[in-house]
Amino acid sequence: MTALAPMPSSQRHSQSNSASQRARDIKRGYKARLRRGDLLETIVYFSVAIVLALFLADGGATYFINIKDVATGLGIVTGLVGSDLLLIMLLLAARIPVIDRTFGHDMALALHRKLGKPVLYLILAHMLLLMIGYGIAQGLNPVAEAIDMIVNQQDMSIAFIAMGLLILVVVTSLVIVRRKLSYEFWYVVHLLSYAAILLALPHQFTQGMMFADGTWARWYWMALYVGTLAAITIFRVIIPVASSLRHDLRVSEVVVEAPGVVSVTMSGRDLDALRAQGGQFFHWRFWSANMWWEAHPYSLSAHPDGRSLRITVRDLGKGSSKLLSLKPGTRVSFEGPYGLFTEAARTTNKAVFVGAGIGITPIRALLEASNLAPHEATVILRGSDAEDVYLWQETYDLCVEKSASLRVLVGRRPRGVNTWLSAEAYGKGESLLTLAPKIKESDLYICGPTPWTELVIRDAQRLGLTDHQIHAERFDF
Amino acid sequence: MRARSAFLAGVGSAAIVAIGWQAGVGTLVSSLPQS
């Protein structure tokens, strides 16, 4: 199925000028984002370097003169680097706007998760090496040394509790364990990471020589802790609460789009000030009797018009099924907007949008928000059957309005073949390249189930698209 | 991270560590066994 609207010839010349200007703007924005990304990554490297420099400046190298002090020296270094990276992990999850605008919410959280295990290993190594090192100095075995620390040394008992909490947080976040836990339970356990950091803090100041009064290290670490705490408080608590109160968002309409699929429109004050873009998502909390305790991430399914916001959700879990019972007037609080699945991620003026099932929602909103010249965009929609292609009429109308090509692939995937295409399209020899001939010089936006999305990404990479051209926002926590 | 930025970040980090080493080298020397 294809839709393609003709363009009046009188508009072509002026549009080609504005298109080249737009291409330059996109390129400039892309390069600025790369520079910002490099700067942020450099700050991470520098923070680790500063930690090591402060250790050395305070005479840390003396631990490595005698073999009996080496374990202690290594224990201190692993603790310092582990603590530094732990704070960086928290900053990555703190919803700091510059991080979201540069890397995207999903990439920031992917890095946050990636750091989880190395940080745990560093802090475990810190504990074990100091038990050995201090044990050698006192003539005690490591277990006896640990007991001595807990019983006789200030703040060490709560530091060991912090260690236990940190292990619990990391273990419950391992994919294999997390799949067996409800989101709400995992979230509450994850909040314990803040408790772990607060419990570990006192021993760093009372036991750690690196935080001694009057040293640069003390000021550096205090700034790092206060800055991280401030960022979390501001961006995860104060701004969401203030924004929810300011915009006074309420459910205005609930529409059943298809069996099990519902659109919720919410109206509020000064929604322009949110600067939300089609393709972004929010964490929503609906203050109804059966939903107020849980927040869920849903993408906008329409570009905000300044008066209302709309989401479209398929009945996938207990949270989304309850949306069907929402009454107009229900108060809504939110965190967001988040995500780089937007125009801001563009690297070139051409775009290909690929959505499957309910994954069409951010695609439809992004298409609406996108500044596209005629024939610069291709939209590919997938559904396992005709009823699985949601918001189809709206997407069709947008494609006509923007003179974009629309390809709809309906039907199950072929058996025994690892492809994202329908059996019919696969049988006809269709591919990403035949469906979107300009894909090599386009940005590719994908939204759908994760395994399906990975197959589209695989095909795009085989065509030579770079990681910067491929945008796939995933809902992770 | 682009190669040039990674190189600069590496050089900058090494310089920061070197400054720390330089600041602490006095303490290290005074701790060494005297002959």
Which positions ≥6 away from A391 have C-beta within 8 Å? Answer: A257, A301, A312, A360, A361, A364
Q: At what angle do helices A216-232 and A183-206 cross, to 10 degrees?
A: 160
- What does pTM read for this prediction? 0.84
Nearest by CB: A34 against B2, B10, B24:
B2
Instruction: Give the ipTM of the model, two decimals please.
Output: 0.92
pLDDT tens for A429-463 read 999 999 999 999 999 999 998 889 999 999 999 99
B34 in contact with A, Cβ within 8 Å = no
Does position A476 have pLDDT exceeding 70, yes or no? Answer: no
Q: Is A46 on the interface with B (CB under 8 A)?
A: yes
- The residue with greater pLDDT, A17 or A403, is A403
Closest CA to A405 of A367, A451, A360, A460: A367
Q: What pLDDT digit, counting tens, does each position of A257-301 carry?
A: 888 889 999 999 999 999 999 999 999 999 998 888 888 889 999
Interface A-B, measured as beta-carbon pairs within 8 A, has a size of 67
From chain B, the residues in CB contact with A52 under 8 A are: 16-17, 20
Place of tokens 């910002």: A36
Q: Which residues on chain A are in Cβ contact (under 8 Å) with B11?
A: none
With an 8 Å Cβ cutoff, are A56 and B20 in contact?
A: yes
Instruction: Assess whether pLDDT exceeds 80 at residue A176.
Output: no
A48: distance to nearest CA of chain B, Å?
8
Q: How far apart are the first and last CA of chain A?
A: 36
Measured between CA atoms, how close is A39 to chain B, in angstroms? 8
Count how many Cα atoms sit within 13 Å of the Cα of residue A310 in the half-sphere of its side chain: 22
Q: Which of B19, B25, B28 sits opposite A53 (nearest CB)?
A: B19
Interchain contact B11–A (C-beta under 8 A): no
Establish if B13 touches chain A: CB-CB under 8 angstroms: yes
pLDDT at A2 over 50: no
What per-residue confidence (pLDDT) applies to A314? Answer: 87
Residues in B touching A45 (Cβ below 8 Å): 9-10, 12-13
Q: Which among B5, B7, B22 is the top mutation candidate for probing chain A, defined by the most A β-carbons within 10 Å of its own β-carbon?
A: B5
pLDDT at A6: 42
**Does B7 lie at the interface with A, CB-CB under 8 angstroms?**
no
